[in-house]
Structure 1
Amino acid sequence: MTEILLSLLSAALINNLMLHWPLGVDPLLAAKGRSQVHALGLATAGLMLCVGTLGYLVDQWLLVPADLASLQLLVWLPLSVLLIGPVLRLLGRWLPMLPFAGLWPLLLGNAAILGVTLLVSREATSLGQAMATSLGAGLGFWLVLSLFDDLQQRILDNDIPLPFRGLPIQLICAGLMAVAFLGLHGLVKT
């Protein structure tokens, strides 16, 4: 149980896919508005959980026994694309107040979803650890999206020099968040 909890915390805070490895930065810069940020975070967390878990099962039960581990990416990419629609429909029924309708392109181009599947296949030793790592990565993604949106709202009315407006200040903010999350690296010793 401790190993699963540490995997969840490590994926969410310490080895955050958006800040530790810059995967999924495009949705970070594209999400606008509180409701879209939460819808995108929840949809990404759900999709990471589904794709990471199913990818681990396919890898352990089909690809590794058949000595086809070199085809992992070829199998996981269609798996992630095929699961976007059902996950969005399920979340749309479960939480109708959030705008899940326009998230298809942001989820389709999100490299963090494939990144978590590769991470799970490489580091997970059990199904529980694979699920915890996938869920932790999704929750960490949602946390970074929420914090970045709050930071964007705070700097919206500030007097920012003209060369730093727009994308440059967003990248500076993302870099500062990455440095802040870097301070959590000593939290869990394995």
Structure 2
Amino acid sequence: MTEIVLTLISAALINNFVLQWPLGVDPLLQASAEPQVARRRIHALGIATSCLMLLCSLLGYGLYQALLVPLGLTSLQLFVFLPLGVLLIAPLLKLLTRMLPGLPFDGLWPLLLGNAGVLGALLLAVQANRGITYSLALGLGAGLGFWLVLSLFSDLRQRILNNDVPLPFRGLPIDLISAGLMAVAFLGFNGLLNP
């Protein structure tokens, strides 16, 4: 149980997929619309990404252990994991739209398709080879960490819009500087867990 909690905290805060490894940075740097619409869209994307990572971790680890390892085809893991993530996006978005009708899940398909964090979570879980619980904890932690960074960056972007930013830094430059500073802030979590 302790290993599961430590893996969740580590994937969400310490080894964040967006800030530590640049996986899934595309949604972070997209321009936002009005604050209320952007906030609802970010929460919809965070929920969808967390659910997709959790579902892909479960099914991907099962396919790896039940199909690829017995047949000796472990080198083909990328060719199994990539279509798995793609095939799960549309049904997951339909299910989430039905379950949470207040959030805008329409139009998230390209963002989920281009999110390398889903594939990264699968590959890291298989490489560690610590079991299904580790795989699920890593997928859920990575998804929750992705959602946390998206929410924090959205709030930071709204604060920047209300300030006077010099002309050369407006737009993407200040966003990249802000993302870098947020990554440095998340480095403070490195000493949180000691083995």
TM-score normalised by length of structure 2: 0.95
- Residue 120 of structure 2 is aligned to residue 115 of structure 1: yes
Residues 106-151 of structure 1, C-alpha deviation per residue, up to 9 Å, x if partnerless? 1111111111111111124111111111000000000000000000
Report the counterpart of residue 86 of structure 1 in structure 2.
Answer: 91
Report the counterpart of residue 133 of structure 1 in structure 2.
Answer: 138
Q: Which runs of 5+ in 2 are unaligned?
A: 33-37
Report the counterpart of residue 10 of structure 2 in structure 1.
Answer: 10
Report the counterpart of residue 65 of structure 1 in structure 2.
Answer: 70
| Secondary structure at the counterpart of residue 28 of structure 1 | coil
- Percent of aligned pairs sharing the same letter: 66
Instruction: Output the CA distance in 2 between the equivalents of 1:128 and 1:153.
Output: 37
Report the counterpart of residue 144 of structure 1 in structure 2.
Answer: 149
Partners of 1:8 and 1:132 within 8 A in 2: yes
Q: Which runs of 5+ in 1 are unaligned?
A: none
Letter in 1 for 2:60: G
Q: CA deviation at 1:60?
A: 1.5
TM-score normalised by length of structure 1: 0.97
Determine which of 143, 165, 181 is the counterpart of 1:160.
165
Q: CA deviation at 1:78?
A: 0.4
Report the counterpart of residue 22 of structure 2 in structure 1.
Answer: 22
Partners of 1:76 and 1:114 within 8 A in 2: yes
Instruction: Output the CA distance in 2 between the equivalents of 1:123 and 1:53.
Output: 15
Deviates more, 1:101-110 or 1:52-61: 52-61
Residues 11-45 of structure 1, C-alpha deviation per residue, up to 9 Å, x if partnerless? 11111000110000001112631010000011000
Determine which of 52, 56, 61 is the counterpart of 1:56.
61
Letter in 2 for 1:136: G
Partners of 1:31 and 1:37 within 8 A in 2: no
- Equivalences, count: 190
Quick one: structure 1 residues 124 and 138, their matched pair in 2 at CA, closer, same or farther if it must change by over 3 Å? farther
| Secondary structure at the counterpart of residue 135 of structure 2 | helix
Letter in 2 for 1:123: A
Partners of 1:35 and 1:98 within 8 A in 2: yes
Deviates more, 1:94-103 or 1:48-57: 48-57
C-alpha RMSD of matched pairs (Å): 1.0
